[in-house]
Structure 1
Amino acid sequence: MKASFPLLRRRVLRPDPSNAGMWAIGAGHAVTHAYTAALYLLLPFIAKDLGLTYSQIGFLLAVRQFMSTVVNLPAGIIVDTLGRRNMFMGISLLGMAVPYLAISATSAFWVLALCMALLGIASFLWHPAAITSISEMYPASRGYGLAIHELGANLGDTLMPLLTGVLLGYLTWRQVMSATVAAGVVLGVIALQTVIRVRRRVEPAANAPPAAGYLTGLRTLLRNTNLMILALVSGIRSFTQQGLQSFLPLYLVNDLKISAVLVGFYIAVVQVSGMVATPIAGTLSDRIGPKRVATAGMLTTSLAVAAFAAFDLGSAFVAALALVGFFVYSMRPAIFRWAIGVVPRQYEGTTVGTLFTTQALFSTLMPLIGGVIADRIGLIAVFYLIAASLVVGNFAMLAVPDLRRPAPTGEIAKG
Structure 2
Amino acid sequence: MLLDTLTSFLTDTWLFWVLLSVGGLLFWKARSSQYFHYILNRYILALITLLLVSGIVFSLMEVLPGDCAEKIMAYKNTQGESISQADIDAERVRLGLDQPMPVRWLSWVSELTLNGDLGYSCAKRQSVNLALGDRFWMSFWFCIAGLFFAYLIAVPFGILSAFVINQPWRDHNPHNSKLQRGVNTLGLTSNKLLDLLLRMVSYLGLALPNFLLALTIILLFVFAGESAPVGLFSDQWKSEPWFGDAGFQTGKLTDFLAHIWLPIFVIGWAATALQQQTVRALVVDESNKLYVEAARARGVSGVALWVKYPVRHSISPLFNSVGFDFQRVFNDLPIVAVVIGLTDAAALLIEALALTNDQELAAAILFLVALVVISMNFITDSVLAAIDPRVRKSVLAGGQ
The verdict on a shared fold, with TM-score over 0.5 as the criterion, is no
Question: Considering only CA atoms, is the larger Rg found in Structure 1 or Structure 2?
Answer: 2
Q: Greater relative contact order (Cα 8 A, min sep 6): structure 1 or 2? A: 1
Q: Of Structure 1 and Structure 2, which has the larger fraction of its residues in helix?
A: 1
TM-score by length of 1: 0.29
TM-score by length of 2: 0.30
